[in-house]
Structure 1
Amino acid sequence: MADPLAEIVGLLQPGAPFSKCVTGSGPWQVRRTQSPNPYYVAVLKGSLRVEDKRNGEIAVNAGDFILIPSAQDFMMWSDVPSTDRDEVINPVILPGGGYRVGSIDGPVDMRALVGYCVFQSEDATLLSSLLPEVVVVRGEHRLAMLMQLLGEEAIGSKPGREVVLQHLLEVLLIEALRSSVEIGGAPGLLRGLSDERLAMAIRGMHARPGHGWTISELAREAALSRSGFHDRFQSAVGMAPMAYLTAWRLALAKNLLRGGKATVSEIARQVGYRSASAFSVAFTRDVGIPPVRYAREAVAPQSGTVAEEFEGAIA
């Protein structure tokens, strides 16, 4: 059976090209305005607090990882009580490229890796559709091992330090995406997959996109009535079951068309359409141009992913 989340994460090829080690001492505050990319904080030592207008205040402790897919106007501050007078406008840049907030001379009571992540397409919007507004991962054994390695690299000076940090952060990001810890109540794929009954239907759609699925069949996969399944799916995932299936099929079709190794008729069958004409009508309605023209005008395969196209279809 397919694992939809693992499949999409693999297609995304997430990376963490920008990170910085931040150390803090005493009271401090940092405000961030809207960022075009998902923002993360991996706390290696001590504690800090994060707050935005939608999710309120969240305490993040050593060993925790927080991911903010849509980083719009949020604030981080020290575990030590602070005021607006402690706001950091220009952090001190330390030898070696790290940043210091709060007291320059005081003992370090917080150390964290902060930064943003991107995908192969450099389009971070898919993450917002897959995840709730904030993801906090705590107490995971695998995460703890990664955080320990990150901490050692962050304060070390071994050759290849930056390369190792980047790859460790990429693995950490994938672990966060795979985790369903504290996913909250926001609609999305994670919430759908956390529902055992809905997960069976979602996995079925991903395992056999070419099958002629009906709402009745999908409801049977989930062991629910048709209306119960539809309403439960809509509430959990944020879109109707057949709309989700169509979006995924067309995303797969776009990837196949970019590959240039199959005819339109072959692709139509692979993604669940009975005829090339039916597929062409659906594709043109969704994309705006016929599949043959899309294939002719498509850029090289490496410039996009199935997951990126999927996001565009369901946004």
Structure 2
Amino acid sequence: MASDQLSEVFDLVAVRGLVSGGFAVRGRWGSRTALHDPLKFIAVVCGRARLTTDGSDGPIELEPGDVAILNNQSWLELEGGTGDGPRREIVPVPGFPSPHLAGADSDVDDVIMGGRIDLNPAGRALLLQALPPVGHVRASAATSNLRGSLYRLFDEVTANRLGSAFAIRQHSQLLLLEVLRAYVDQAELPPGWLRVLTDERLRPALGLMHAEPGKSWGLEELARAAAMSRTSFAERFRTVAGVPPLTYLHRWRMLLAQRALRDGDVRVGSLAFDLGYASESAFSTAFKREVGESPLRYRHRVRGEMSADSAVPEEAASGL
């Protein structure tokens, strides 16, 4: 099933959504901030906002429950509210929960939350390529799950209950999943892994590659699974995925290899055999060409980075 494959990819690229800030405000307001994270999301819990960034053609009108995903943008401007009074400038405050969310009244305030989407290097390459500069997910066209996830997250952020930090992390993950589900249904996706996972014609062939990545798949066999001619299958796969089928298979193997090296103690020779390589040296050469370093060096580096990251509190994130 495509949903299972999406879950598998999420696990491989270590996708993690984290709330980093927010504010509640009434009257005319505006906020402009520099962006330093490759992937950000902005959610309108209630009220409305106009979003402008360097990747947008003009202001994007965000309504209650809408979410915008920002891909490699350098700045963000939000504005909203009505009335004759002066415009209030909202300045992001370091730390989270944000004091700007204290006492939020969903009946009268514009309530905005922002977060970042953390990825490992493999995930960065996949997701950044699969999303446009600005993705607008409309709550009005999505299932009720998206709005429900957003409201549950907001409730945890503002209630300050026992275990709220853990709950916020979990709700952030679910919100991110619902956002991507809704975006897939609403938008024309650019070529990439997110689009190929949702292609009904290619799904049988994709399922074979994901189920047995170590098998020496040929175009003829994969095309037969998709009930297509060899030429039609190859052309459709390249159009949808952005790469030929066997290149996709190679990259899938490399993602599996990175997870195995990151999370386990498997021997490189055994991993090479499981992924269909004739020898450890052939696998190591392919891995270094794709990732930029040898399997053992990669394992040592990422485990060191994971240990360092675990020592840094998430509250260090600031602003939207």
How does the TM-score come out when normalised to structure 1? Answer: 0.76
Specify every segment of 5 or more residues in structure 2 that has no aligned partner in the other structure, as ranges: 102-106, 308-320
Q: What is the Cα deviation at residue 172 of structure 1?
A: 1.0
Count, aligned residues: 292
Shift of 1:261: 2.4
Measure the CA separation in 2 of the matches of 1:36 and 1:122.
Answer: 16
Letter in 1 for 2:133: E
CA distance in 1: counterparts of 2:123 and 2:274, whole angstroms: 27
- Secondary structure of the corresponding residue to residue 31 of structure 1: strand
CA RMSD of aligned residues (A): 3.5
CA distance in 2, matches of 1:277, 1:115: 42
- CA-to-partner distance for each residue in 1:119-138, whole Å, 9 max, x for gaps? 46797554313433333152
The within-5 A match list for 1:82-97 is 86=87, 88=89, 90=91, 97=98
Identity %: 32
Aligned-pair CA distance for 1:245? 0.9
Instruction: Answer whether contact 2:54 2:73 (CA < 8 A) is retained.
Output: no
Cα distance change, pair 122–16 in 1 and its aligned pair in 2 (3 A): farther
Confirm or deny that 1:144 pairs with 2:147.
yes
Task: Report the AA paired with residue 232 of structure 1.
Answer: R
CA contact 1:201–1:218 (8 Å) conserved in 2: yes
In structure 1, the partner of 2:265 is 260
Any conservation in 2 of the 1:211–1:272 contact (CA below 8 Å)?
yes
CA gap of 1:31–1:187, structure 2 versus 1, over 3 A, is farther
Alignment of 1:20-39 (within 5 A): 20-39=21-40
C-alpha distance 201-80 of structure 1, shift in aligned 2 (>3 A): farther
> 1:46 — aligned with what?
47
Q: Residue type matched to 1:48 in 2?
A: A
Which whole-Å CA distance do the structure 1 matches of 2:299 and 2:51 have between them? 47
Alignment of 1:230-309 (within 5 A): 230-257=234-261, 259-264=264-269, 266-287=270-291, 291=295, 294=297, 299-300=302-303, 303=306
| TM-score using structure 2 length | 0.75
Task: Map 1:1-315 to 2 at 5 A.
Answer: 3-56=4-57, 57-78=59-80, 80=82, 86=87, 88=89, 90=91, 97-99=98-100, 108-119=108-119, 124-135=124-135, 136=137, 138=139, 139-179=142-182, 180-257=184-261, 259-264=264-269, 266-287=270-291, 291=295, 294=297, 299-300=302-303, 303=306
Q: Is the 8 A contact 2:33 2:92 kept in 1?
A: no
AA aligned opposite 1:52: T
Decide whether the 8 Å contact of 2:32 with 2:78 is kept in 1: yes
CA gap 1:78/1:245 in 2 versus in 1, 3 angstroms: same
Change beyond 3 A, Cα 1:225–1:134: farther
Partner SS for 1:196: coil
Instruction: Quote the offset at 1:140 in angstroms.
Output: 1.8
How far residue 230 of structure 1 moved from its aligned partner, in angstroms, is: 2.2
SS of structure 2 residue aligned to 1:99: helix
Deviations 1:216-248 (A, max 9, x none): 222222222223222222222222221111111
Gaps spanning 5+ residues in structure 1: where? 101-106, 305-315
Counterpart residue type for residue 98 of structure 1: P
**1:111 shift after superposition:** 0.7
Q: Secondary structure at the match of 2:214?
A: coil
Q: Is the 8 A contact 1:219 1:226 kept in 2?
A: yes
Structure 2 residue matching 1:113: 3-state secondary structure? strand
